[in-house]
Structure 1
């Protein structure tokens, strides 16, 4: 006689499917594009950071964000707004004190975790596609346990965004006068996008009003929370846009500094 428990167990039995996935679409395109895009950006950024040249345009006070703030005694005149406490050794980038925090903020970002987990670690490469690893421990062991510092890296990223904002403001000087050119538009555009990406962070959303029990008692924080929540819905797009604006800004400053072409000036 078949018991009720036996019938339930039989009903819950999983189908024996030999295929790794039943997906017939080109699911591999998204992780492949992500892999190519992130790899290209990392290679470009690494080369530029260790070039140690073509990062500042003295005439217009343009400083690339890859070298901000410039802190080594190798910094060209006028580029070091906060002094030069670091020695000039080729393994030490000009922005050595800020680059690690920016890297931590990006690496621990919730969207970037998804991106490189899928594209580089195949964990998993796509929805409904098996994980590329035999075991899954999540973010409970070394080194992924350090992903939990994201909320603290956010504060450092906010400070660095303030520094980049200062760089964009200083760049409105042409000599000792006010000046305005295409470089200013690019620098300001990059700063705006960096702030949008930073503020759209999940940690920022929680800091703003994540612990409030009564929104009605905190109307200002509630409005800011609504604003951040709208940006948060576009966190993925902003993550990619800022990679593009950072590369564009750096390339433009590099081209001007190297003398490849001149800045398009509107005023002075």
Structure 2
């Protein structure tokens, strides 16, 4: 990396006391593979989710009551009435997704997630891209200024995400009762149920959830219930990264399955009803 110019603030790797190395790094391994894979994964989900959010069709299977999580809760006046489990009160505008009430909060919950922060800091902003690889930024302010100061509101987005998980759970349970009456069970029900379980696993493994359960306790022995909750969440928290990526995949798969059945690309495999 070239030496800092006169108008560039000499901080971090550009400090006068640091060795002046022309190369960006002396590493010989493929250090760029990890950020590349992360970028491709993020890009795939963002493109797919954006396209689906604004398609405004093939989100509900009327015959079996399947509602994709990408459109839940469906509160637009343009939604199919049977898919609107919580009413219709948002205007039907082409630029407004049917699930506009939940999508922004779910996006902010993911963006401010402790794992996702580290992932896109390294891969997107390259701050830093990898260990022993100089970042292209001459100045670092942390999460003390806009827009990164918003990261500190992660706990509040967690509360909203938990409520939306309850709504997704309700959608999955309702789908076992066919709109024309009676109990029904098909592959779509299984897909919706697995997706909900994994979403709860990701949500409950959140660092904020762990702190809500056991934070600010001086004596765990005086709070056995909260201590038990804290220990269980801590076990999930160890694999928070894994659940974060798995749920991105299961969300897309669940939505694709509902879309495919709704569009008539293939029938739902029925076990009962």
State whether TM-score is above 0.5.
Answer: yes
Match of residue 89 from structure 1: 93
Matched, 1:267 2:272: yes
Conservation of the 8 A alpha-carbon contact between 1:71 and 1:95 = yes
SS of alignment partner, residue 57 of structure 2: coil
User: Which residue, out of 102, 116, 128, partners 1:98?
Assistant: 102
Deviation at 1:17, TM superposition (A): 4.1
User: Which residue, out of 142, 152, 158, partners 2:146?
Assistant: 142
* RMSD, aligned CA: 1.1
User: Which residue, out of 63, 66, 72, partners 2:70?
Assistant: 66
Name the CA distance, whole Å, in 2 between partners of 1:241 and 1:195.
12
Match of residue 7 from structure 2: none
Structure 2: which 5+ residue stretches go unaligned?
Answer: 1-16
User: Which residue, out of 32, 35, 38, partners 2:39?
Assistant: 35
Name the CA distance, whole Å, in 1 between partners of 2:174 and 2:102.
19
Counting only pairs closer than 5 Å after superposition, residues 185-196 of structure 1 correspond to structure 2 as 185-196=190-201
SS of alignment partner, residue 50 of structure 1: helix
Name the CA distance, whole Å, in 2 between partners of 1:161 and 1:75.
20
Structure 1: which 5+ residue stretches go unaligned?
Answer: 1-12
Deviation at 1:15, TM superposition (A): 5.2
Match of residue 214 from structure 2: 209
User: Is the deviation greater in 118-127 or in 78-87?
Assistant: 118-127
Matched, 1:243 2:248: yes
1:92-142 CA deviation, whole Å, 9 max, x = no partner? 111111111101100100111111111111111112211121111111111
Name the CA distance, whole Å, in 1 between partners of 2:91 and 2:19.
64
Match of residue 46 from structure 1: 50
Matched, 1:122 2:131: no
Larger radius of gyration: 1
1:207-249 CA deviation, whole Å, 9 max, x = no partner? 0011111111111211111110011110000000000110000
Name the CA distance, whole Å, in 1 between partners of 2:155 and 2:131.
27
Name the CA distance, whole Å, in 1 between partners of 2:81 and 2:226.
43
Match of residue 78 from structure 1: 82
Could you say if the C-alpha distance between residues 215 and 263 of structure 1 is closer, same or farther in structure 2, counting changes exceeding 3 Å? Answer: same
1:58-94 CA deviation, whole Å, 9 max, x = no partner? 1111000000000111101300011110111111111
The number of residues matched between the two structures is: 256
Matched, 1:154 2:158: yes
